[in-house]
Amino acid sequence: MKEAPELAAGTFRKALTQLRDKGVLARDVLGRSAQLSNLQRHAGEVAYPVALRINAPGEASGPVGGAALVIEVDAQGRHAHLHFDATRVDKARVDDVARQLGAFLASLRDAPGKAVGEHDLLGAEERQLLARWNDTRRDFPRDATLASLFQAQARRTPDDTALICRGASLTYRELDARAEVLARHLRGAGVGRDVRVGIFMERSLEMMVGVLATHKAGGCYVPLDPAYPAERIAFMEEDAGCHLVLTQERLLSRVPSAAKAVLAVDQQWERIAAAPEAQTPPATPDSLAYVIYTSGSTGKPKGVMIEHRNVVNFGVGMDERLGTERGTWLAVTSLNFDISVLELLWTLTRGFTVVLHAERHDAVQAGKHASRAMEFSLFYFSSDEGERPEGRYDLLMESARFADTNGFCAVWTPERHFHAFGGLFPNPAVTSAALAAVTRNVQLRAGSLVSPLHPTLRIAEDWSVVDNISHGRVGISFAAGWQPNDFALRPETFPDRKRIMFQQIEDVRRLWRGEALETKSGTGHTVKLRTLPRPVQKELPIWVTTAGNPETFEEAARAGCHVLTHLLGQSVEEVAQKIALYRETWAKAGHPGKGTVSLMLHTFVGDSEASVKEVVREPMKSYLRSSVGLIKEAAWSFPAFKAQTTLANGNFGTDHLSAEEMDALLDFSFERYFQSSGLFGSVDACVAIVDRLKGLDVDEIACLVDFGVPTELVMKHLPLLAEVRQRANSGVGQPGAEPELDGSIPALLERHAVTHLQCTPSQASMLLAEERSREGLKRLKKMMVGGEAFPVPLARQLSETVSGDVINMYGPTETTIWSSTQPVKNVGEGVPIGTPIANTQLYILDAQQRPLPIGAAGELYIGGEGVVRGYHHRQELDRERFVPDPFSSQPGARMYRTGDAARWRQDGLVEFIGRLDHQVKVRGFRIELGEIESRMGEHPAVRETVVIVREDIPGDKRLVAYLIAKPGEPPAADALREFLRTRLPEYMVPQAFVTLSTFPQTPNKKVDRKALPPPEQAQARGELVRPEGETEALIASIWQDVLKLDKVGVEDKFVDLGGHSLLMVQVLEKLKAQVEKPLTLVDLFRYPTIRALSGFLSGDSGEEEALKEVAARGEARAAARRAMQQRRRR
């Protein structure tokens, strides 16, 4: 019971009238605020109904039905009673309300003319308490920049290790010296204060040299993560107005074309080191340190401009919260996320050793064969149909030039006669001679020369000429031939062609060495002839082409010839057996070395498997149509054609097939060969395929790029193939590197005795799921967790696992990384975001930007030294988000509107409640739903779209896109997903898509987002393949339980059903409790379907699943890395 302040009767009656005009208060209090009505609360957060009761004299008091709290006021306004339901509301919350009511009535007494909504709910005592909690004044070096702080640290600890990446390392002295060399060049190139430099580099020592050099030159860096879609990278580079882009040689072809200037640091280091000194003014504390892009509601990301003083002050705040004791910090965050600044720059200005986790390096290191080299060459077999006559050889010439300057070892041109497909290449000696004129490095090989069609002397003469023109770069793969029509040139050789081929190989070798060949002249006399001109190479490199006959592998080995083969019509296991037979026969024959196995693969590398499949489908079908033998191989497993056997001559007949049947057969053949016989898919997927081929003992991949895909598309995508080549060999022979070491996070934690780690709650969950990771976490001294709401069970588990401190971190990019922190101890009902760091203020304000009482929920504003300059070229948004700070005594001070709802607790800690706008956090990533909606609206089949975050399963947030399609067939979910993947980072692609005829509406005709239905996933997938056997049934039941689905199919992928990394952790735990075979999270990514996982667990994956795994493995690793290594924070 509280005694109310004395009020004049008229004032009180007026207040009562205004209160009554507000209507019934016994309802959800959040419903009375337009902003709070959309609040996304924690799963355990409940809004209770409140009732106001005005008692006439003598009227009995009591509860109001349904209300958790009743505020009862007597008619004279002298007393107020609060009745509460103790089972629903705790006493501390009621005390808050009582205190606020007292402050309100006191304000009403002192200013009776104010409207009810204008009265203050803060008492003087509470106002002082809030001011004390925000009194974070600290001294910090106001004249310092990040460059000066790093240089000072390098002087203090010159010989200490500063950076480690992929086994290589730099001391502080070495890092400072390399950064100074590059900075000198940058100054000469015009980099200075506020001049923006793009960092388009993979995670490496070079990347950090680039960042530090940019600061030393006085400029600011703009992160351009190569993992982002090309369109997004191009927008960021152009929008930022980068003066220069720093990159690496292997990424040169992917630098945005609009870039004003590009510098490949590794390629141009000698030129960089020779640059003269250039004097430019150094950066000042008010100069920009970096411009970082975050998701934007307009469909385009927005650049946030951060100054040196912001980061220097942030560093002082971290000194207080994390301590200054040096240690080893494992840096796992992309440069495009600003929390990387804590990992990379705060650490290097405090003397830490920073271990850079190289995400892309993992794809290679995760394989068993990372240290084994793999050569790459280009192979051609184009059609004489389709290309314009004058452009028939454009792809050959242009791609050969590309191969010549991008580390490929050879180009192969075939021999084909009298058929459009391959018809551009009747004579590989002629095409190789043409290529000799435009290349300098690659070998020029016949792939293949059908030698029985040619006189042996002519073969030696022709190729000796080419060897001279190319300065000793030729090689020949001999083939016996298979197409009878080709032998119209020499029909007498067809029956005995294989024996003739091997004899010709020996004769050409003798002629090449300068020996005479005994033969018949035109008069019939026996003559001994030597060929001219003499070749440059002493020995001619010779291959034998084989389609898979084991005897040919053996004969080639006995003859000391290399082998050129392919996967068409052969399984992976069969090829492996034949290669093993070849190696064994080679060794028995006593030849030096072990011979070379070159494997021809149809090749096209793109952004995803789906997009690649659409590009290559028709060209590949045309290729298969030209080879009845390949169709036959596929047809035996195609039930519709099993009844049709062979014709009298033993060949598979297709004449009886209708056009529709033939197309169906070609589609089936394509699907089989796409999965098993090509280098198709994303870069990640292809690197994984290469790793598998290394395991088969393949030495070279002859990439058939010329099989009907348009020239411009092939050339556009060749840089991705070059990236596959580079990454597949990145662990080979690097000086000072440890290529065979495991580069995963658990391995790095263990190997480097890591003391500090920063990650999101989502990633922390995944690390806890792995026993090896848990061991690494136990040894940490500090573990910083932030970027999304911190679940209580996870907080408890981490605090029990980590021996050191677990710290919850909070802060938007616009106020410089983290603005508040809180040690996680004695976890209760929630994990607060804590207290403001140095020179930072947290304000919880109402709609009029007035402070709210302790315990009241409002919008969180942040003021102080961390508030950044603003958005790049977004003045209107600046005015909306950066507003004058009325609580600061500093002229011109601003505060940032976070859009987050929060409240002060009685203990002086801030509690995060949720979002107030359409910017959401999903698994640590900050996302503007409007950006996704804008991108979806660009799809030609989409008329309207709405994207929301659903939490149908408590704690499981996922993005769901709803759309109204334009007239015609609505777009499939897979098509939409792939469309968005080319325009948005993976974390912004919705997990589910729902097509509706109309959107539900609110009474004011706006989309009623709360009324949008949950996605009917099972129905959208069509007919399901039911589980068979105990293992499949077990996995299916676990999936259904975790995904909350009634049914799942054994061919469905977990992620396509709405699953993600956190749910996969649950699946892992449930499976490990019921199966004996060791199982890791990587296994679940590697085997994404019930059938594939069942085969793995049963040890009976079968050929088809093994082949599917080759194509899916890279995608699985990419998904695992995205889930475990890319992070975002609120």
3-state secondary structure of 574: helix
Question: Quick one: average pLDDT of 315-327?
Answer: 96
- Helix (H), strand (E) at residue 219: none
What letter does residue 79 receive in the DSSP assignment? E
3-state secondary structure of 298: coil
- Which has the closest alpha carbon to 413: 485, 504, 476? 476
Between residues 108 and 803, which one has the greater pLDDT? 803
* 659: Cβ contacts below 8 Å, ≥ 6 apart: none
Query: Using one digit for the tens of pLDDT, what is the confidence trace for 1020-1053?
Result: 444 567 888 889 999 999 998 888 887 888 888 7
The alpha carbon of 1089 is separated from its chain's Cα centroid by a whole number of angstroms, namely: 21
- Which has the closest alpha carbon to 760: 344, 1081, 1128? 1128
- Which has the closest alpha carbon to 1007: 998, 1016, 1015? 998
Structure-token match 């037979």, residue found: 581
Residue 5 has a pLDDT of: 52
Q: Quick one: pLDDT band at residue 668, thresholds 50, 70, 90?
A: low
Of the listed ranges 69-78, 509-518, 578-587, 702-711, the least confidently predicted one is: 69-78
Q: Are 191 and 258 in contact (CB under 8 A)?
A: no
| Polymer length in residues for the chain | 1130
Q: Are 654 and 601 in contact (CB under 8 A)?
A: no
Residue 1016 has a pLDDT of: 56
Residue 724 has a pLDDT of: 92
Separation of alpha carbons 311 and 347, rounded Å: 12
Q: What token pair was written down for 957?
A: 């947030």
3-state secondary structure of 523: coil
- Which has the closest alpha carbon to 662: 677, 678, 641? 641
Looking at the predicted structure, is the pLDDT value of residue 1111 above 50? no
Q: Quick one: pLDDT band at residue 367, thresholds 50, 70, 90?
A: very low
Whether residue 455 is preceded by a cis peptide bond, meaning omega within 30 degrees of 0, is: no
Whether residue 470 is preceded by a cis peptide bond, meaning omega within 30 degrees of 0, is: no
- Which has the closest alpha carbon to 85: 100, 102, 68? 68
3-state secondary structure of 66: coil
**412-441 burial, b for 16+ CB within 10 Å, e for fewer?**
bbbbbbeeebbbbbebbbebbbbbbeebee
Looking at the predicted structure, is the pLDDT value of residue 351 above 90? yes
Q: What token pair was written down for 35?
A: 């902003």
Dump the DSSP string for 846-906: -TTS-BPPTT--EEEEEEETT--SEETT-HHHHHHHEEE-TT--STT-EEEEEEEEEEE-T
Dump the DSSP string for 1050-1104: TTSBTGGGT--HHHHHHHHHHHHTT--S---HHHHHHS-BHHHHHHHHHT--HHH
Separation of alpha carbons 283 and 265, rounded Å: 22
3-state secondary structure of 175: helix
- What domains sit in the chain, N to C, each tagged with a CATH number? 2-120 (no CATH), 146-315 (3.40.50.980), 755-917 (3.40.50.12780), 925-1015 (3.30.300.30), 1023-1125 (1.10.1200.10)
Separation of alpha carbons 497 and 315, rounded Å: 77
Q: Are 77 and 92 in contact (CB under 8 A)?
A: no
Q: Quick one: pLDDT band at residue 1066, thresholds 50, 70, 90?
A: confident
What letter does residue 643 receive in the DSSP assignment? T
Separation of alpha carbons 481 and 490, rounded Å: 12
Determine how many CB atoms are found less than 10 A away from the CB of residue 203. 25
Amino acid 766 reads M
Residue 647 has a pLDDT of: 33
- Which has the closest alpha carbon to 822: 801, 806, 804, 845? 806
Contacts by residues 546-549 (CB-CB < 8 Å, ≥ 24 positions apart): 547/482, 548/574, 548/575, 548/578
Between residues 829 and 999, which one has the greater pLDDT? 999
Dump the DSSP string for 917-931: SSEEEETTEEEEHHH
Query: Using one digit for the tens of pLDDT, what is the confidence trace for 885-914?
Result: 999 999 999 999 998 889 999 899 999 887
Tell me the C-alpha to C-alpha distance, in Å, between residue 941 and each of 883, 963, 979, 981, 982: 40, 10, 11, 17, 17
Structure-token match 């976070």, residue found: 898
Separation of alpha carbons 844 and 850, rounded Å: 8
Question: Quick one: average pLDDT of 1089-1101?
Answer: 80
Residue 38 has a pLDDT of: 43
Q: What token pair was written down for 749?
A: 């934690």
Between residues 828 and 871, which one has the greater pLDDT? 871
354-363, 530-539, 921-930: range with highest mean pLDDT = 530-539
Of the listed ranges 90-94, 900-904, 1114-1118, the least confidently predicted one is: 1114-1118
Residue 246 has a pLDDT of: 98
Residue 109 has a pLDDT of: 81
Query: Using one digit for the tens of pLDDT, what is the confidence trace for 855-880?
Result: 888 999 999 999 999 999 999 999 99
Residue 157 has a pLDDT of: 97
**E-strand spans in 283-332?**
288-294, 302-307, 328-331
Question: Quick one: average pLDDT of 305-309?
Answer: 98
Phi/psi at 223 (5° precision): -70, 135
**74-109 burial, b for 16+ CB within 10 Å, e for fewer?**
beebeebebbbeeeebeeebbebbbbbbbbbbbbbb
Of the listed ranges 364-368, 391-395, 687-691, 799-803, the least confidently predicted one is: 364-368
Separation of alpha carbons 812 and 896, rounded Å: 9
**E-strand spans in 56-209?**
69-74, 79-84, 161-165, 168-171, 196-200
Mean pLDDT of all residues belonging to the chain: 82
Query: Using one digit for the tens of pLDDT, what is the confidence trace for 949-1003?
Result: 887 766 667 889 999 888 888 888 888 988 888 777 777 889 889 888 877 865 4
Dump the DSSP string for 931-971: HHHHHHTTSTTEEEEEEEEEEEETTEEEEEEEEEEPSSSPP
The two beta strands, 328-331 and 756-759, are: parallel
Separation of alpha carbons 41 and 39, rounded Å: 6
Between residues 21 and 147, which one has the greater pLDDT? 147
Between residues 323 and 47, which one has the greater pLDDT? 323
Query: Using one digit for the tens of pLDDT, what is the confidence trace for 553-582?
Result: 999 999 999 999 988 767 777 888 899 999
Query: Using one digit for the tens of pLDDT, what is the confidence trace for 187-228?
Result: 999 999 999 999 999 999 999 999 999 999 999 999 999 888
Dump the DSSP string for 686-752: HHHHHHHHHHTT--EEEEEEESSS-HHHHHHHHHHHHHHHHHHTTTSS-TT--TTS--SHHHHHHHT
Residue 457 has a pLDDT of: 93
Question: Quick one: average pLDDT of 771-777?
Answer: 89
- Which has the closest alpha carbon to 597: 474, 678, 698? 698
Q: Are 328 and 753 in contact (CB under 8 A)?
A: yes
Q: Are 236 and 212 in contact (CB under 8 A)?
A: no
Query: Using one digit for the tens of pLDDT, what is the confidence trace for 221-280?
Result: 999 998 888 889 999 999 999 999 999 988 888 899 899 999 999 989 989 999 888 888
**E-strand spans in 310-398?**
328-331, 353-356, 375-380
**E-strand spans in 341-500?**
353-356, 375-380, 410-413, 443-450, 474-479
Separation of alpha carbons 75 and 83, rounded Å: 17
Query: Using one digit for the tens of pLDDT, what is the confidence trace for 382-426?
Result: 765 555 566 789 999 999 999 999 999 999 999 887 766 567 888
3-state secondary structure of 596: coil
Residue 1011 has a pLDDT of: 80
Looking at the predicted structure, is the pLDDT value of residue 160 above 70? yes
Q: Are 930 and 910 in contact (CB under 8 A)?
A: no
Q: Quick one: pLDDT band at residue 658, thresholds 50, 70, 90?
A: low
Query: Using one digit for the tens of pLDDT, what is the confidence trace for 422-479?
Result: 678 889 999 999 999 999 999 999 988 999 999 999 999 999 999 999 999 999 999 9
Q: Are 447 and 600 in contact (CB under 8 A)?
A: yes
